Amino acid sequence: MSEAAKFNAMMRSSGVANSPEDAQPFILIVEDEALIRETIAMALVDEGYQVLALEDGRQALGVVRASQSSEEGEMPAIDLLILDLMLPYINGLDLCRLMRQDGMTTPILMLSAKGTETDVVVGLEIGADDYLAKPFGMRELIARCRSLLRRASRQPQLQEQLVIQFQDIALYPQECRVIVRDGAVNLSPKEFTLLELFMNNPRRVFSRDQLLERVWGIDFMGDSKTVDVHIRWLREKLEVDPSSPQYIITVRGFGYRLG
């Protein structure tokens, strides 16, 4: 039996449908403590998700790799991975690292025991998207899963978009290119990400903290002055008159908005 066929049989026995178009998101759980594993699986099945629960890292890597290399429709694609840190054979951190090295972009929610904050930080650095410390409630877990799935389903739409236009600014997300009043402007990666965020949310006010988190990441140690400096640079490159900006507007007491 091939790897894919083996895991397919495993999924059928767990009631995972073979990727019909309207299938519910498919969540893979990797947790060695049977009680936690089964509790999570039941809670997610109750919510209507398709679930496969595994107990060690080696099995998980097998399933993940089989699902990535499988032909279209052969196996359901994994929409979300719930990964415990301490696992037999291959632990959660190594698994996360291996999967990101393979180029897998599936969202990962890490589960950690108390007192493993360092592992959590490492986990987030090597590509986990969120974490929950044990013990946690099932409602909290489900809320996190929903949010990760929502975020992941939004991304492809943004990636498919070839150009975002706002007044005289055209931003090409896939080419990292910006044209203002028919001329190309050179933006640094942070300036580009900042402008992309604004252009995806015209007229929405962002606070400095929100911009820090969205553009620089939650682990960034700098302060909100960083945001002001980048806004100033962006204005110098975009605005006709940077001292009287028409695009990126300061909203006193709140932050900034586009338009």
Q: How many angstroms separate the CA atoms of 31 and 58, rounded? A: 12
Strand-pairing partners, residue 27, are 51, 80
In whole angstroms, the minimum distance from the beta carbon of 111 to Ca ion comes to 8
Return the number of the residue (84 or 196) whose C-beta is nearest Ca ion.
84
- One-letter amino acid identity for 118? T
In whole angstroms, the minimum distance from the beta carbon of 59 to Ca ion comes to 14
Stretch that binds Ca ion, among 32-40, 42-50, 156-164, 213-221 (CB under 5 A): 32-40
Return the number of the residue (85 or 99) whose C-beta is nearest Ca ion.
85
Q: Which listed residue (55, 56, 79, 84) binds Ca ion by CB under 5 A?
A: 84
- Please report whether residue 32 would count as binding Ca ion according to CB under 5 A: yes
Q: Which residue, judged by CB position, is nearest to Ca ion in the bound state? A: 86
Give the strand pairing for 50-54 and 26-30. Answer: parallel
DSSP codes of every residue in 185-213: E---HHHHHHHHHHHHSTT--EEHHHHII
Stretch that binds Ca ion, among 80-88, 149-157, 160-168, 206-214 (CB under 5 A): 80-88
DSSP codes of every residue in 9-47: HHHHHTT-----TTPPPEEEEE-S-HHHHHHHHHHHHHT
Return the number of the residue (67 or 116) whose C-beta is nearest Ca ion.
116
- Please report whether residue 86 would count as binding Ca ion according to CB under 5 A: yes
CA nearest neighbour of 223 among 206, 208, 207: 208
Residue ranges in contact with Ca ion by CB under 5 A:
32, 84, 86
